[in-house]
Amino acid sequence: MRKYIRFIDGFRRFHKVRMQPEEAAALARTFIKKRVESREENFLNLVEMGVFNYPRSPYRKLLEPRKISFTDLKNWVSRDGLEGALRTLESEGVYFTVDEFKGRVPVSRNGEHFQCNEKMFDNPFVSQVYEVRSGATRSAGTRVRIDFDYLHQRSLYDALLLDIHGCLTAPVANWFPVFPGAPGINSSLRFAHIGNPARRWFSQVDEKKLRIGWEKKWGKKLIYVLSRIYGNPLAAAEFVDLNQAHKVAEWVSQMLKEHPRCVVYTFAASAARICMAAADANLSIKGAKFLVTGEPLTPQKRYEIEAAGASAVPVYGISEAGVIAAGCDRPFEASDHCHLYKDTTAIISHQCQVPYTDATVKSYLFTNILYESPKILLNADMGDYGDLTLGTCDCGFGDVGFDTYLSGIRSYEKLTGEGVTFVNTDFVWIIEKKLPEMFGGKSTDYQLVEEEGSNGIPHLRLLVSPRVDSIDERRIVESFLRFLKGAEAQSWGEAGTVMWSQSGALRVVREAPMATASGKILPFYLLKSQKNSSRITPCTTGGEYGISDTKNEKASAECRVPTVGS
pLDDT of residue 159: 97
Between 100-109, 110-119, 123-132, 372-381, the lowest mean confidence (pLDDT) is in: 123-132
Percent of residues, the chain, with pLDDT higher than 70: 77
Spatial CB neighbours of 53, under 8 Å, sequence gap ≥ 6:
none
In this predicted structure, the answer to whether residue 441 has a pLDDT above a threshold of 70 is yes
Q: What is the mean pLDDT of residues 317-329?
A: 90
pLDDT of residue 126: 77
Q: Is 49 exposed, middle or buried (0-12, 13-18, 19+ CB in 10 A)?
A: middle
pLDDT tens digit sequence for 350-360: 988 776 566 67
Percent of residues, the chain, with pLDDT higher than 90: 44
pLDDT tens digit sequence for 377-396: 999 999 899 999 999 999 99
pLDDT of residue 491: 40
Taking alpha carbons only, the member of 252, 152, 275 closest to residue 199 is 252
Regarding predicted confidence, which is higher, 3 or 143? 3
Between 130-139, 262-271, 313-322, 349-358, the lowest mean confidence (pLDDT) is in: 130-139
How far, CA to CA in Å, does 32 sit from each of 155, 167, 169, 257?
Answer: 12, 19, 21, 35
Q: What is the mean pLDDT of residues 314-340?
A: 92
CA distance 462 to 451: 11
pLDDT of residue 519: 45
The helix or strand, by DSSP H or E, that contains position 16, with its residue range, turns out to be helix 2-16
The model's confidence at residue 135, banded by pLDDT at 50, 70 and 90, is very low
pLDDT of residue 453: 65
Report the predicted TM-score, pTM, of the whole model to 2 decimal places.
0.77
Q: What is the mean pLDDT of residues 503-523?
A: 68
Regarding predicted confidence, which is higher, 46 or 491? 46
Regarding predicted confidence, which is higher, 504 or 33? 33
pLDDT of residue 373: 86
CA distance 1 to 284: 51
Regarding predicted confidence, which is higher, 393 or 520? 393
Spatial CB neighbours of 97, under 8 Å, sequence gap ≥ 6:
105, 352, 381
Q: What is the mean pLDDT of residues 427-443?
A: 81
How far, CA to CA in Å, does 502 sit from each of 61, 189, 320, 365, 468?
Answer: 45, 28, 28, 35, 28
Q: Write the single-letter amino acid at 121.
A: F
In this predicted structure, the answer to whether residue 192 has a pLDDT above a threshold of 80 is yes
How far, CA to CA in Å, does 552 sit from each of 305, 534, 541, 548?
Answer: 27, 12, 18, 8
- Residue 536 sits at the vertex; the CA angle it makes with 532 and 538, to the nearest 5 degrees, is 135
Between 74-88, 209-223, 505-519, 542-556, the lowest mean confidence (pLDDT) is in: 542-556
pLDDT tens digit sequence for 273-305: 899 899 999 999 999 999 999 888 888 789 889
Between 90-94, 356-360, 548-552, the lowest mean confidence (pLDDT) is in: 548-552
Residue 520's φ and ψ, nearest 5 degrees, are -85, 145
The model's confidence at residue 537, banded by pLDDT at 50, 70 and 90, is very low
Please tell me what DSSP assigns to residue 538.
Answer: E
CA distance 20 to 193: 8
Q: What is the mean pLDDT of residues 318-342?
A: 92
CA distance 90 to 93: 5
The model's confidence at residue 542, banded by pLDDT at 50, 70 and 90, is very low
pLDDT of residue 136: 41
Highest mean pLDDT among 95-109, 123-137, 440-454 belongs to 95-109
The model's confidence at residue 556, banded by pLDDT at 50, 70 and 90, is very low
pLDDT of residue 104: 87
The structural domains of the chain, with segments of one domain joined by +, span 420-549
In this predicted structure, the answer to whether residue 54 has a pLDDT above a threshold of 90 is yes
In this predicted structure, the answer to whether residue 348 has a pLDDT above a threshold of 90 is yes
Q: What is the mean pLDDT of residues 119-138?
A: 67
In this predicted structure, the answer to whether residue 233 has a pLDDT above a threshold of 80 is yes
